[in-house]
Chain A
Amino acid sequence: MSDSVKILRRNRPGSKAKDFCRWPDQPFEEMDNTLAVQQLIQQTIRKDPSNLVAILKMPEAQEEGVWKYEHLRQFCMELNGLTVMLQGECKPEICTQMTATEQWIFLCAAHKTPKECPAIDYTRHTLDGAACLLNSNKYFPSRVSVRDSSVGKLGSVCRRVYRIFSHAYFHHRSIFDAFEKETHLCKRFTYFVTKYSIISKEILILPNLDDEVPINQPVGESEA
């Protein structure tokens, strides 16, 4: 890229959809604002959503808490796409409970007393609750540093978010596959939680998602 002309990374009004956020990559070192981590993550995903290693390759000297936090934000954000697709199919009359395998019924933690919400409600409430928590001034007041105590909160969010994937996988397989083909989100998520040991392996009930995902040994090992 020619650096002689100053590049403005900006979505100008009237941009085409394909041009949205399509600007030359900015090296992480040059990102001088406080959203650098999010920018980096989104930039890498945009380049190739299937390249999990690149996406989850943490820059050196980056605080791990913020790295995990920003990734989880990104997951919750992208899960909206899956929710939109589920809304069309996952009706409260059919999926009256949040289940994956027959082993567990998950209760919705968004209410004062955990409630047996239908799956679609569970999904929405979980994402809303996660949005609330991850944007909370109390636990995550900053996006350049995250307290250790707050990092602990990420685990429970991850566990609940994983149930959305598993429900979709076991009950709405076609949606899950279509979504996964486009975003590789579940693969990325599994890789993420395994790499940073956020969720214990026993909970990861989904089978190894596909064969062609190659390169990441951690995933392969954990799910083998």
Chain B
Amino acid sequence: MKIPTAMDDSSVSHHNGGQVGSELGVNVNNKQNEESSQSVQYSIPGILHFIQHEWARFELERSQWEVDRAEFEARIAFLQGERKGQENLKNDLVRRIKMLEYALKQERAKFHKLKYGVELQQGDMCPPPEEQSEIGYTDTILDIRSNRVRTLLGVNSDDQAEDPNYRNCEKQHYSTNTALNRKMMMYDEAAYREQRRKGASSGYNEEGLSVQDTAAVFANFEFLANQEMDMDEIEDIEAKQSHHSSIKGEEVDHEAEEVINELNMLTETEADGGGQGDEYVDEKPLALGELAQLTVSNEPEAYDVAGASKESFRKTWNPKYTLRSHFDVVRAVAFHPTEPALVTASEDHTLKLWNLQRTVPAKKSAGLDVEPLYTFRAHTAPVICLAMGAPRTEECFSAGVDGTIRVWNLPSLTADPYDPYDASVQGPVLREHSDAVWSLAAAAGRVLSSSADGTSVLRVSCPSPASRVRCHPSLPVLVTAHEDHHIRFWDAVSGRCAHTMVAHLDAVTGLALDPNGIFLLSGSHDCSVRLWNLDTKTCVQEITAHRKKFDEGILDVAFHPMRPYIASAGADGLAKNLCQNRPSLCFTKKKNILDVLSTFVLFFMYKINH
């Protein structure tokens, strides 16, 4: 009860504003009054609270004052810049006059030459000394002439036309020029900051460009025309600057402490003519590092794509995990649509779910490898093919020699492998086929299967039966893998074979396209996984990671739709340990992450069209 009243008092006094001392006095009086009335009136917390309030107010005032100071400092910097700019302009005008005089003299000489053929020599003789004296007077003109004047001549004529204009709006030009000059300074002193700002807000791109332009202009004396063009922009920018500073002022009111800390930076910013002090970073090297990134990110997209593809060109895939837990040939592998997880299907009649980010802490036997998260048991014969459902459905389809297609609800990726049996993982069973199912494709909750019983089998007329068909994620191109060691490319529109290449030393069994459609991954019974550039149709990388069982090597390959993983499923294990031969998977990781595009949807659509 009492303390709140004390608080009210302090807040009231706070609102009163004015001198602190008197307030304190008033407050003390109040206190005394209340003390006299009720002896247990003032507790220490109440007093402390009051003091804290006062302190906060002082801090606020101080920060306000600091902000004012910063603004004044900025103003000073601005005025200094203006003065410097005027000086520069004066020099430039002088130079310009000289240049025009020189041009005029040249014109006169030419005219002289044409008009009086006789006095030609004399005329010729006369101007040079003048010219030389002129050139001697302005050294830079000579350089510029040799370098640029020819290109500038067109501009020059404009300049001359604009000359009266120029004089008329001299005042405007002056202000413009000061702005330009300020920019020059910025460019010299703190080019990185300027560019940072450019990167920080895309709206500032123009400004950054204009800064560069003006720098060039100043060096080359061709400022007039550009000035005209820059005028509007500059005024805009100045408006922005003032806008920014006003906003900043408000922010400062709200966040006094922060502003105090950032005051130095703030003044710099103001001197630079705007920007948001809050976002600046103290360390110059850091800023430069970010600058580099930002400038890169400002590049056109086309370049980015090229760069990315080049980069990924150079990057190679390295084995990351070996997934061992199957007792027999791993027939198929499919990635989770979003998570770094995958499902494998094996001839040991089981499917296994692996979470690549959760390497199960070494149980007595696990070692460093990934342990499967879940074992799906329902098939009574080797499982041959797998398909992942649409993202977020957490559905997975599997089918195999037993002719059933089974739907699985993937358990949570954080589940423990030794959790109690959960019957809900096993979804419905589709018994549409009477014989082994060899291929599955899923899209939007529907699944398409092709079976050895002769139903819904895709046929492409080619010399050798296709063992895999994949669709390009964005182009109407089909890629097929063949037993005659070939990979063939098809135009999905015309149905014609676009390209054929011998890709492996043995039958090609697995195909996968990366989600960007830049790379093709193929696996073969020759135990090698090859990465191809789809553009050039050249092999970028070869990975030999599996061993044979009977005459089978690699049976499937896959790209993760979002994450930098590829996987290969084989009859067998690692190439690193020659004696290791167990059904397993080899893993590789790439650094740049690719976008998502649905291969399956297109695949699906193609099948319907035919």
Contact = CB atoms under 8 A, between A and B. Distances in A.
A73 B547 contact: no
B436 A15 contact: yes
B403 A14 contact: no
The SS class assigned to the B binding surface is loop
B378 A135 contact: no
A118 B364 CA distance: 23
A120 B421 contact: yes
A110 interface: yes
Contacts of B194: none
B452 A26 contact: no
B543 to A, nearest CB: 19
B549 A121 contact: no
A92 B420 CA distance: 9
Contacts, number: 157
Contacts of A125: 418
B421 A121 contact: yes
B435 interface: yes
B45 interface: no
Nearest to B323: A135
Given A9-B550, A84-B378, A134-B327, A141 B577 contact: yes
Interface stretch (A33-41, A160-168, A169-177, A188-196): A33-41
Given A141-B579, A143-B581, A127 B375 contact: yes
Contact of A35 (B365, B377, B420, B547): B547
Contact of A131 (B349, B375, B552): B375
Given A110-B418, A120-B421, A138 B367 contact: yes
Interface stretch (B18-26, B83-91, B148-156, B379-387): B379-387
B572 A8 contact: no
Contact of B467 (A8, A12, A39, A74): A12
Interface stretch (A57-65, A75-83, A205-213, A214-222): A75-83
Most chain-A Cβ atoms within 10 A of its Cβ — which of B403, B418, B438?
A: B418
A137 B362 CA distance: 12
Contact of A132 (B328, B366, B550): B366
Interface string B267-293: 000000000000000000000000000
Contacts of B364: 133
A23 B551 CA distance: 11
Interface string A13-30: 111110010010010000
A198 interface: no
A81 B380 contact: yes
B421 A16 contact: no
Interface in B310-355: 322, 324-328, 348-350
B377 A142 contact: no
B421 A92 contact: yes
A136 interface: yes
Nearest to B416: A111
A200 interface: no
Contacts of B426: 87
Report the interface size class on chain B. Answer: 35 or more
A34 B579 CA distance: 7
Nearest to B363: A132
Interface in A119-157: 120-121, 124-125, 127-129, 131-139, 141-145
A99 B98 CA distance: 110
A158 interface: no
A130 B125 CA distance: 106
Contacts of A55: none
A177 to B, nearest CB: 16
Interface in B33-88: none
Nearest to B579: A142
Interface string B470-503: 0000000000000100000000000000000000
B298 interface: no
A77 to B, nearest CB: 4
A224 to B, nearest CB: 33
7 contacts: A20-B382, A33-B548, A34-B547, A77-B349, A84-B379, A128-B417, A141-B577
Given A16-B453, A124-B377, A131-B326, 9 more contacts: A14-B438, A14-B450, A16-B452, A39-B549, A110-B418, A132-B325, A135-B325, A136-B324, A136-B367
Interface of B: 322, 324-328, 348-350, 363-369, 371-372, 375, 377-382, 401-403, 417-418, 420-421, 423, 426, 435-436, 438-439, 450, 452-453, 457, 465, 467-468, 483, 507, 509, 525, 547-552, 571-572, 577-582, 584
